[in-house]
């Protein structure tokens, strides 16, 4: 799937920054692909890039409107449909990472057909997967796991890929979500795969590779999240990771979308090892990646030092301090 | 979905008895719905009912051909298509529990259209589910879990429903698989739901009920099965069971479809409690249900006595000895 660049990032009127995580991910990791953002009144997300209308974006060369938001269930709100149709009429293609297929909305399907435009549903794949088999595959695998959704699992995996490649280590980010698929141009949104095939899709995503090659597999959900733990479990088993990094956001008081507290890092380490041993008896924690954005630098360093001592693992904020300590540990433990 | 009865059970040429579990389930629990079986040369399954051709079944009043088999991936073998078409031409409807939709096979779709016949894909549902939320629902829930696929989770839940109703306890079997949906006429095949919605589908399946009402929720897969653990985990969290029964088949040396040994009953109890506590902190094991078909009666009793002593839980073979001891324990622990 080749989505014509550059993009106009559509944020709708989402209620918070995290809801625009797809757009934020693309803007952070592929800034050269984004000409600006289109936001509706009341929008509480901001990528910090130019606010543009459709005609303004078109004038700047935009070729695709990317619906860069997430919500529980991945639905397309009715009051956004007009914007999507306007983009098509203006000559843009439209790409979306929602569960709702763009073409399932008749006004959108008709506008696309009428204007000869393409609709990309990045959440969906025509590929048929086999069921997972749990057979050991050559090569190394690292999985990012989390105490919640949206705690930095994708960012950590992308940061690891960048740092490892800079050190000459063979490494590939394996996208398991729509945003990762947008960013890397490959992968599969496993949360949109039929349940029986989750592990199988991940085995396809991360096939046998050279013994010194690392697949950096993007985690999804959390084993402790009541909505998405099934996705997390199937991913863990399909990925058969040798190592995992626990991602966390320490000021979050409630898991995304549900009324419950986050598990502790220790609980996540313990359950990930217990479950992960089914397909890789050697699975172990490598380190901790914390989103310390809510802290100033001194607080962040204190938190990370404490986490590192508590768990006996390197701890960092991938964005603020880099993933050097994690890759140091990886090189030491997997020579 | 009302599938016209009675049925001709199609077993194809499956390689073993377990592969015909859907047909066997319907024949065991709804014998009055089955006029006979249609088997191809080399078939290694046998329901012990009359072998009939399509014309013979039609003469006995059969109204639907039921494809009563399972295989990893739920595909329809090419060499069975002719039989399905012949059934449609003879005036039968066709029902299937496979992942492959009947209508996706053009010869079948055309024959159904040409002869004005119905195609039922019991694995698939048009219903849209929300994501699970983990909110506590009124009423009691029991979930059957297993050391593997096809160890009696459905049979145990159905047997419990029968016994509990006989004792005047409000109880409903909740089907989570295609066979259970066939048998009960309700429910949803959760392994065919898109991954993000597994827990949500189960929450829909088992809504808030009277405080003294029991939902007996059919388990799927195993937390230790590398293919289907994602389904098992999402089901466990969506079901928020107060109690669970561990199902096992002690002579099985290899998990279904994969090259690995079964976990122990103790491992399943432990991991089910650890994971299940996320949505029901009070979750606990109620008992053990063992398929002792491979043992004679004395061996069976010895095995069950040993399992009961080892785990401190009532243990029985639901088919051979009934589920009385399990319901005794349920009534004692949940007055």
Q: 3-state SS string over A192-224? A: HCEHHHHHHHHHHHCCCCCCCCEEEECCCCCCC
Option in B134, B191, B230 nearest A233 (CB): B230
Full-model pTM = 0.90
Q: How far apart are CA B245 and CA A262, in angstroms?
A: 28
Same fold, A7-121 and A140-333: yes
pLDDT of residue B75: 84
- pLDDT level of residue A263 (50, 70, 90 thresholds): very high
Q: Helix or strand or coil: residue A248? A: strand
- List Cβ neighbours of A258 (8 Å cut-off, separation of 6 or more): A225, A226, A227, B133, B134
A115-169, pLDDT tens digit by residue?
Answer: 999 999 998 888 999 999 999 999 999 999 999 999 999 999 999 999 999 999 9
pLDDT of residue A99: 86
Residue ranges per domain, chain B? Answer: 7-121, 140-333
Q: Is B234 on the interface with A (CB under 8 A)?
A: yes
pLDDT-flagged residues of chain B (< 70): 1
- Say if the Cβ atoms of B231 and A228 lie within 8 Å: no
Option in B226, B230, B237 nearest A226 (CB): B237
> Contact, B244 vs B142, CB < 8 A?
yes
The ipTM estimated for the assembled molecules is 0.89
- Say if the Cβ atoms of A275 and B231 lie within 8 Å: no
Q: CATH second-level architecture of A7-121? A: 3-Layer(aba) Sandwich (3.40)
- Say if the Cβ atoms of A227 and B199 lie within 8 Å: yes
Q: Which run of H or E residues covers position B38?
A: strand B34-39
pLDDT of residue B70: 80
A293-304, pLDDT tens digit by residue?
Answer: 999 999 999 999
The CATH number of B140-333 is which of 3.30.2290.10, 3.30.230.10, 3.30.420.40, 3.40.50.300? 3.40.50.300
- Residues 243-282, chain A: which have Cβ within 8 Å of B? 257-260, 271, 274-275, 278-279
A27-44, pLDDT tens digit by residue?
Answer: 999 999 999 999 999 999
pLDDT of residue A1: 65
Minimal CA separation from B284 to chain A, in Å: 18
> Contact, B292 vs B303, CB < 8 A?
yes
pLDDT of residue B131: 95
B145-197, pLDDT tens digit by residue?
Answer: 999 999 999 999 999 999 999 999 999 999 999 999 999 988 999 988 999 99
Measuring CA to CA, how many Å separate B161 from each of A97, B170, B215, B272, B323?
A: 42, 9, 9, 22, 10
Question: Which whole number is the average pLDDT over A257-282?
Answer: 97
Could you say which DSSP state residue B197 is in? Answer: G
pLDDT at A71 over 80: no
- Residues 163-202, chain A: which have Cβ within 8 Å of B? 190-200
Option in B190, B257, B278 nearest A195 (CB): B190
Option in A135, A227, A234 nearest B132 (CB): A227
CA of B199: which chain A residue's CA is closest? A227
- Say if the Cβ atoms of B73 and A135 lie within 8 Å: no
Q: Helix or strand or coil: residue A64? A: strand
A185-214, pLDDT tens digit by residue?
Answer: 889 999 889 999 999 999 999 999 999 999
| Summary mean pLDDT of chain A | 96
Determine what percent of chain A is predicted with pLDDT higher than 70.
Answer: 100
Q: How far apart are CA A137 and CA A245, in angstroms?
A: 20
- Say if the Cβ atoms of A226 and B190 lie within 8 Å: no
């Amino acid at each position: 799937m080749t989505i014509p660049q550059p993009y106009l990032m559509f944020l709708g009127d989402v209620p918070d920054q995290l809801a625009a995580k797809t757009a934020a991910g693309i803007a952070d990791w592929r800034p050269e692909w984004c000409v600006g953002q289109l936001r509706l009144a009341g929008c509480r997300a901001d990528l910090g890039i130019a606010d543009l209308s459709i005609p303004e974006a078109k004038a700047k060369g935009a070729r695709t409107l990317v619906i860069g938001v997430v919500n529980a269930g991945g639905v397309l709100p009715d009051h956004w449909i007009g914007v999507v149709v306007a983009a098509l009429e203006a000559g843009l293609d439209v790409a979306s990472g929602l569960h709702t297929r763009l073409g399932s909305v008749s006004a959108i399907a008709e506008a696309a057909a009428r204007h000869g435009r393409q609709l990309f549903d990045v959440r969906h794949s025509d590929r048929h997967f086999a069921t997972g088999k749990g057979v050991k595959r050559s090569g190394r695998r690292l999985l990012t796991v989390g105490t919640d959704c949206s705690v930095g699992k994708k960012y950590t995996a992308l940061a690891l890929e960048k740092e490892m490649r800079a050190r000459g280590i063979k490494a590939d980010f394996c996208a398991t979500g729509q945003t990762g698929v947008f960013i890397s141009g490959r992968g599969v949104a496993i949360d949109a795969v039929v349940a029986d095939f989750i592990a199988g899709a991940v085995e396809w995503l991360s096939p046998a590779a050279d013994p010194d090659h690392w697949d950096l597999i993007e985690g999804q959900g959390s084993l402790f999240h009541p909505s998405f733990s099934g996705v997390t479990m199937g991913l863990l088993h399909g990925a058969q990771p040798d190592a995992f990094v626990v991602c966390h956001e320490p000021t979050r008081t409630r898991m995304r979308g549900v009324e419950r507290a986050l598990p502790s890092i220790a609980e996540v380490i313990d359950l990930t090892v217990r479950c992960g041993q089914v397909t890789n008896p050697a699975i172990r924690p490598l380190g901790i990646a914390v989103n310390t954005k809510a802290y100033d630098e001194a607080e962040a360093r204190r938190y990370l030092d404490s986490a590192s001592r508590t768990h006996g693992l390197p701890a960092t904020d991938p964005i603020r301090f880099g993933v050097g300590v994690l890759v140091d540990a990886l090189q030491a433990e997997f020579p």
